[in-house]
Structure 1
């Protein structure tokens, strides 16, 4: 037992001391403990939140949810712009892009938007809080919880160790998709009369799937090229994208293909 604790302490020390010195001072980055605590609290919320709300009336959060969604539209659009412009100005390569750990203007600009992308995933945990408070626990699915949990962990690792370089493509695409997604959520939150303008929900899911395929392709190309980027991160991203393609693909099939067949029958 003592050996296990000693090894865990050594590993923790290695984790905190071998990060990117540029991002270590930034909020929530230096130590994994705050994100680990947030992860545990989030899982407990998903398990016990619906039970707490079971005998309560749903909260009317319209005045909070509408500005929340449109604020995330703005943040996501800003991040997409920053990733795109900074990568373009830096001459980023889609085939192979190592991390520039210097403190020059463009590498720091890329590192900062990577942090904002990570922090946006922390903010987006509020999606689940709102679902539970409104007693829409049917939307707190395994896919929903898995995606939110893994994104905060994955991007803590990203900002801690590889803030820039190869991951820019994933974050840039995801920022664009989330701009569209939160626009949809914001319009839907305004009221039922907006439904006639939201016919494109199915295409939003299709865009998400295409995003995962594009990221998987991008990472696979990098994996098989002679590139100075950690292969462990490439393997993790590839495995993660496969899991999301399976889960989102199943959602698409259940929601749009299977349900359409049942309606016809």
Structure 2
């Protein structure tokens, strides 16, 4: 029993040391930015999202669907505007820096255009949190046919994956998928 306890304690200690080592590799430019320093806010928001996905349809089962046009129109317009801002910032800054669309190395420079890219990637990460509302609107409007495994998987993982992006690689080739996806979201939310 003592050997098992020591082995478990050693494994936890090694995992914690590995976590501390990964933190030492984090990009210094985003240190102190909201939601970036610790994984806990991202984990907690994602867990809350999944709890709402699990309980929301049950709570709505015997209720009439909500008509949310009053909320959906401003939400969609503001999300289109946010995604347009992100995409245009990434396009402008990456063009000025002559970024490659094939493979852009990570730089940790405090150049103003590099910081614009990091800032836009942070906003992209935050937009993934705001997009949880897409699912909540489906639940409140009783659109369970749109509440697919793929939808929930996509929304719950994108927020976590982009936390990794903003924590460790808020520049380099990270800009391209954020820029392309933001342009697509402008079209989606405008429609």
TM-score by length of 2: 0.91
Q: Do structure 1's residue 144 and structure 2's residue 148 form an aligned pair?
A: no
Match of 1:118 among 111, 121, 125: 125
Matched with 1:158 is: 165
Q: CA RMSD for the aligned pairs?
A: 1.3
Which one of the candidate residues 106, 109, 118 is aligned to 1:102? 109
Q: Which runs of 5+ in 2 are unaligned?
A: 1-7
For 1:240-264, what per-residue CA distance to the aligned partner results, in whole angstroms no more than 9, with x for missing partners?
Answer: xxxxxxxxxxxxxxxxxxxxxxxxx
Cα distance in structure 1, aligned partners of 2:168 and 2:35: 13
Deviation at 1:10, TM superposition (A): 2.3
2:44 corresponds to which residue? Answer: 37
Residues of 2 paired with 1:48 and 1:3: CA distance?
A: 38
Q: Which runs of 4+ in 1 moved over 6 A?
A: none
* CA deviations over 1:8-41 (Å, ceiling 9, x no partner): 3223323434311111211111111111111111
* Long gaps (5+) in structure 1: 185-265
Length, aligned pairs only: 184
1:77 matched to 2:84? The reply is yes
Q: Aligned to 1:79, what secondary structure does the other structure show?
A: helix
Per-residue deviation, 1:155? 0.7
- Scaled by the length of structure 1, the TM-score of the pair is 0.66
SS in 2 for 1:78: helix
- Separation (CA, whole Å) in 1 of partners of 2:153 and 2:135: 12
Q: Using the alignment, how far apart are the partners of 2:12 and 2:51 within structure 1?
A: 25
Q: Which residue number corresponds to residue 48 of structure 1?
A: 55
User: Is 1:22 aligned to residue 23 of structure 2?
Assistant: no
